[in-house]
Structure 1
């Protein structure tokens, strides 16, 4: 869906992509984030200087590289937090006791950002649907409400830190369009660098999004899928029963055939003995 802003990976600028995909626009550049990082570095330097500029700790601090950015394009959680604060947005750790005690269903949130080994990406609700806006993907990935909690749990198991976004996100075109309609995804996006044969197969619908004719209850979809699965099992069971019945029938026919042959052979042996008896009797009568 063209209205969804999705910034793809360039170098190691995933923090920039994460923020822009969250805000749905080109709101931050590497220069903007570098300025925030430098400001944080200066604030840390000033705090360290309070202990004495001649101290060993201060000299060691000056020799260390910045913890808020590096030459590859990495930016720290502090940089992201300060960048979001400009928009009145706050980060809350998803698995913290304070947040978990609220017992909030994830589908009732607005967005999440996730981090693992210096890679950042956004999961955001647009309209009434959730999308994985990972910059490493070739496009947005639709996530159903029923799968969202499982997806977040999977990320946690893989070692991701997950943060809930609190506050009012800026308005965007995708939010307005998806607020009045829903879409389905015919083909899941792949990781950048993988073969993208689905793009050719899908023609104009690059990422495989189509507008739903009607709003479908995902729980009902799940129930129908389970029902169909049970029907398939029943059909398989019936087919197995039929195959066993046919096999037993064939075995019965073979057994019956064998018995008939034995009976005919027995009859043939009896008739032959009778004939021999009659012939012997006739022979004795002629004598």
Structure 2
């Protein structure tokens, strides 16, 4: 994991982090992206001027703030697209009719970038494995091939825009190393400041008002629930064992458990108990 470049969140520069994590290096700075944004603004101004510099539409356009960047460090999809074009890379909307008609398995792609509420992050394949390189995480998060499609579908359901990266990504150290080995991850990385946020929120007090950043963190935390879909049968066995232990403990406390008697669970009861186990 140490060979994977992972730029963590600073301010609102997630677009910069998204690009650098995708390219696996410090390729772009805020100055670079601002330059691209200003160039796009100028091109838009020139197109508007073609309709007449004395027109009401042109004067209104000049009074509006830039749609390609703002003071917080946000950059638009146009800026990201132009930045990637420097490397011969292009973006394709994942859920577009044209792309979906190709019926390509996501694991056969090279990378995705995702956007939600003006937050950008990268999902990239390095070697033979996929990694979530979200700058809000404390480190790269390993994503199994089986879970990748589910993860993308869940992001779409939560309102994310997802773009497929097409073209040849620059060679990087992590790609060279992971091409010949596979890594394992014992513990999933947390969101930056997750422990502090939980303490501040009183571990589930519903009355407290949280800002949009914390709402985003909650959404991301939901998308990172600790489920290993490649070992679902093992999870089911643990859930069954847990439900039986719970039943035995409850019966013993009530004095109603008879020696050698087994509790028979319906399929619906087992499903509910398994879901409750995963929810914890």
TM-score normalised to structure 2 length: 0.71
User: Aligned equivalents of 2:247 and 2:3: distance in 1?
Assistant: 69
- Residue 239 and residue 25 in structure 1: after superposition, are their counterparts in 2 closer, same or farther (change >3 A)? closer
Q: Does the CA-based 8 Å contact 1:8-1:135 persist in structure 2?
A: yes
Aligned to 2:238: 244
Q: CA deviation at 1:195?
A: 3.3
Aligned to 2:36: 36
SS in 2 for 1:270: coil
Unpaired segments of 5 or more residues in structure 2? none
Unpaired segments of 5 or more residues in structure 1? 200-205
Q: Quote the RMSD (CA, aligned, Å).
A: 20.8
TM-score normalised to structure 1 length: 0.69
Aligned to 2:211: 217
Larger Rg: 1
Count of aligned residue pairs for this structure pair: 280
Q: Does the CA-based 8 Å contact 2:121-2:133 persist in structure 1?
A: yes
Q: Does the CA-based 8 Å contact 1:114-1:120 persist in structure 2?
A: yes
- Residue 98 and residue 173 in structure 1: after superposition, are their counterparts in 2 closer, same or farther (change >3 A)? same
User: Aligned equivalents of 2:95 and 2:275: distance in 1?
Assistant: 107
- Residue 139 and residue 268 in structure 1: after superposition, are their counterparts in 2 closer, same or farther (change >3 A)? closer
- Identify the match of residue 266 of structure 1 among 250, 260, 264: 260
**Between structures 1 and 2, the one with greater helix share:** 1
Q: What per-residue deviation string (whole Å, max 9, x for no partner) do you get for residues 207-226 of structure 1?
A: 99999999999999999999
- Identify the match of residue 257 of structure 1 among 232, 251, 255: 251
User: Aligned equivalents of 2:16 and 2:106: distance in 1?
Assistant: 24
Q: Does the CA-based 8 Å contact 2:93-2:164 persist in structure 1?
A: yes
Q: What per-residue deviation string (whole Å, max 9, x for no partner) do you get for residues 98-143 of structure 1?
A: 0000000000000000001100000000000000000000000000
Larger displacement relative to structure 2 (243-252 or 216-225): 216-225
User: Aligned equivalents of 2:217 and 2:231: distance in 1?
Assistant: 21
Q: Does the CA-based 8 Å contact 2:113-2:164 persist in structure 1?
A: yes
- Residue 2 and residue 47 in structure 1: after superposition, are their counterparts in 2 closer, same or farther (change >3 A)? same
Q: What per-residue deviation string (whole Å, max 9, x for no partner) do you get for residues 157-181 of structure 1?
A: 0000000000000000000000000
